[in-house]
Amino acid sequence: MTVLTDQDAAFLADVVEVADTIAKVHADDVDRNARFPVEAIDALRERRALSAFVPTDLGGDGVSLRAIATACFELGRRCGASGMVFAMHQIQVVTIVRHLDPQGADSFFHEHLRAVASEQRLIASVTSEVGTGGDMGRSVAALTPGGDGTASFEKQAPTVSYGAYADDLLTTLRASPEAGPGDQVAALTRNDQHTLEQKGTWDPLGMRGTCSPGYVVRATLSPDQVLAAPFATIMTESMVPVSHILWSHLWLGVATDAFDRARAFVRAAARQKPGEPIPAALRLSHVMSDLSLLRAEVRGALDEFLASEDRERMATMAFALRFNNLKLAASEQAPRVCQGALTTTGIVGFKNDTPFSVGRHLRDAMSACLMVANDRIHQTNAGLLLIAKDV
Ligand SMILES: Cc1cc2nc3c(=O)[nH]c(=O)nc-3n(C[C@H](O)[C@H](O)[C@H](O)COP(=O)(O)OP(=O)(O)OC[C@H]3O[C@@H](n4cnc5c(N)ncnc54)[C@H](O)[C@@H]3O)c2cc1C
């Protein structure tokens, strides 16, 4: 059973209102012009949604991960790009909150979360890198100590969603110039500490409003801006599973809206020809069964994650396989639902300007298998399956 606190319910009411009255209204324009969904993100800021997961003693609202995931679903349902920007930001916040040093109440990260709450700062992610692609567990760029007690880095990032609009970046790096590719840290920099030199353009097939070109990121920071926990722990306990949970919720939202549009099409056809058979209704039933599978996988994985707050279990291969499989299944199933919706609606779904249009949904959903290439994840799983005792 899902139990929402009053805080969760108030947060979700705000997000649904933003999704329905703002994100939905601008979604087609955001997509057509590949522009940042500024109206939706500003409205979320006004409602303090960017610090929803920040604990209350640090100035946030302390909402649950379930509420954050539901918010990604609701935003994804109205505008995939708004949902993705919100999800990417929350992945960074959840990761920082879950790995705060419990002894260091005055640490940089405690102070920074207070700033996220008071200033509604937006955090972007710089994990992918030229040379390692989407392999989050390896870095080329290194954190390099300076003589004056500062540190610096330069990273070639192929894709930084909303980098030009973000207040902060959470960047993965080798721990030092001597460290191996897998000996990593995660460093947070503010936009007065880093520069972004754009490389290339952003005119993609889908998720156009995420505004995700490549950049060379250069930064100078204090060494205490590095999360203290080992990055391998941060990655396996938080960054990877939480990314897969929040992404899959917004993909479910995109697929759900495509299904809803197909259903509206079939019902309109039935009203026009009362008593006559509606061939598209049969197709809709197939789409419904694909959507049900997606929904069960996405919601089941969240339940399992929330039930396994046992850090020992999170270090197991079975846990890694579970949440890798969520990403694989959801990223393959969401476009399937959107494709089914297109087959159901036919030409009116194919056109971009009808109430039944699903082209944006299909294109947005197709980005899912690339957000860390599925073949890479299969390769990791293949290795784990050879040695894992239990799966
Ligand atoms: C909309 C969107 C937004 C994104 N936003 C961000 C962001 O904000 N920050 C960020 O850091 N990243 C982000 N990414 C992720 C990033 O773009 C990619 O993960 C990364 O750039 C990888 O590039 P690539 O697609 O060339 O894949 P690569 O991982 O380089 O793979 C290229 C090809 O080689 C294959 N391949 C590579 N390695 C293996 C392997 N080991 N086994 C089998 N096949 C393999 C892949 O299947 C693929 O066909 C985003 C991606 C998308 C789609």
User: What pLDDT digit, counting tens, does each position of 15-48 carry?
Assistant: 999 999 999 999 999 999 999 999 999 999 999 9
CB distance 62 to ligand 1 below 6 Å: no
Tell me if 359 CB under 6 Å of ligand 1.
no
Dihedral (CA of 269, 20, 8, 163) sign: positive
Q: Is 122 in the pocket of ligand 1 (CB under 6 A)?
A: no
Q: State the pLDDT at residue 189.
A: 98
In this prediction, residue 17 carries a pLDDT of 98
Asked whether residue 167 carries a pLDDT value surpassing 60, the answer given is yes
Instruction: Say if CB 92 and CB 125 are below 8 A apart.
Output: yes
What are the backbone dihedrals phi and psi of residue 282, each rounded to the nearest 5 degrees, phi first? -65, -45
**Which whole-number Å values give the CA distances from 391 to 42, 374, 377, in the listed order?**
43, 19, 16
Q: Point out the least confidently predicted range of 190-194, 310-314, 373-377.
A: 310-314
Query: Which DSSP helix (H) or strand (E) runs through 195?
Result: strand 194-199
Q: Which fold has domain 231-387?
A: Butyryl-CoA Dehydrogenase, subunit A; domain 3 (1.20.140)
Q: What pLDDT was estimated at residue 128? A: 96
pLDDT at position 59 is: 97
Q: Whose CA is nearest to atom 28 of ligand 1?
A: 133
Residue with tokens 């800021």: 45
The band of 101, judged by pLDDT with boundaries at 50, 70 and 90, is confident
Q: Is residue 1 predicted with pLDDT exceeding 60?
A: no
**C-alpha to C-alpha distance for 133 and 114, rounded to whole angstroms:** 33
Q: Is the pLDDT of residue 64 over 90?
A: yes
Q: CA dist 109 to 61, 90, 218, 275, 300, Å?
A: 17, 15, 20, 64, 32
pLDDT per position as a tens digit, 108-152:
999 999 999 999 999 999 999 999 988 999 999 999 999 899 999
Residues 6+ positions from 300 with CB-CB distance below 8 Å: none
Domain ranges of the chain: 6-119, 123-225, 231-387
Residue 311 confidence (pLDDT) above 90: no
Predicted local confidence at residue 53, as pLDDT? 98
Share of the chain above pLDDT 70, in %: 99
Q: In this structure, what are the phi and psi dihedrals at residue 129, rounded to the nearest 5 degrees?
A: -150, 145
- pLDDT for res 44: 98
Nearest C-alpha neighbor of 342 from the set 268, 257, 267: 257
Q: Give the global pTM.
A: 0.96
Q: Is 123 in the pocket of ligand 1 (CB under 6 A)?
A: no
Residue 141 Cβ inside 6 Å of ligand 1? The answer reads no
- 130 C-beta closer than 6 A to ligand 1: no
Q: Residue 379 — very low, low, confident or very high, per pLDDT cuts 50/70/90?
A: very high
Provide the residue type at 116 as one letter. V
Neighbours of 3 (CB within 10 A): 7
Ligand 1 pocket residue status of 243, Cβ below 6 Å: no
Q: Give the residue from 180, 179, 175, 166 showing the smallest Cα distance to 234.
A: 175
Q: How far apart are CA 371 and CA 250, in angstroms?
A: 13
Q: Quick one: pLDDT at residue 246?
A: 98
Burial environment of residue 377 by CB neighbours within 10 A (0 to 12, 13 to 18, 19 or more) = buried
Report the distance separating Cα 213 and Cα 157, nearest Å. Answer: 9
Q: Which residues contact 312 (CB under 8 A, 6 or more apart)?
A: none
The top-level CATH class assigned to 6-119 is: mainly alpha
With cut-offs at 50, 70 and 90, classify the pLDDT of residue 3. Answer: low
Indicate whether residue 370 lines ligand 1 (CB < 6 A). yes
For β-strands 184-190 and 168-174, DSSP reports them as antiparallel
CATH topology for 123-225 is Butyryl-CoA Dehydrogenase, subunit A; domain 2 (2.40.110)
Separation of CA 239 and ligand 1 centre (Å): 16
* Identity of the amino acid at 237: E
Residues 91-96 have a mean pLDDT of 98
**What mean pLDDT is predicted for residues 262-282?**
94
> Helix axis angle, 240-272 relative to 80-98, nearest 10°?
150
> Residue 133's pLDDT is what?
87
Confidence of residue 103 (pLDDT cuts 50, 70, 90): confident
- 369: CA distance to ligand 1 center in Å? 9
**Mean pLDDT, rounded, for 210-221:** 98
Q: What is the pLDDT of residues 221-240, one digit of tens each?
A: 999 999 999 999 999 999 99
Q: What is the pLDDT of residue 147?
A: 84
Which of 140, 254, 375 is the pocket-test mutation for ligand 1 (most atoms within 8 Å of CB)?
A: 375
Burial (CB < 10 A; 0-12, 13-18, 19+), residue 221, is buried
Q: Do domains 123-225 and 231-387 have the same CATH topology?
A: no
Average the pLDDT over 260-280 and give the result. Answer: 94
d(CA 11, CA 21): 16
Q: Is the pLDDT of residue 179 over 60?
A: yes
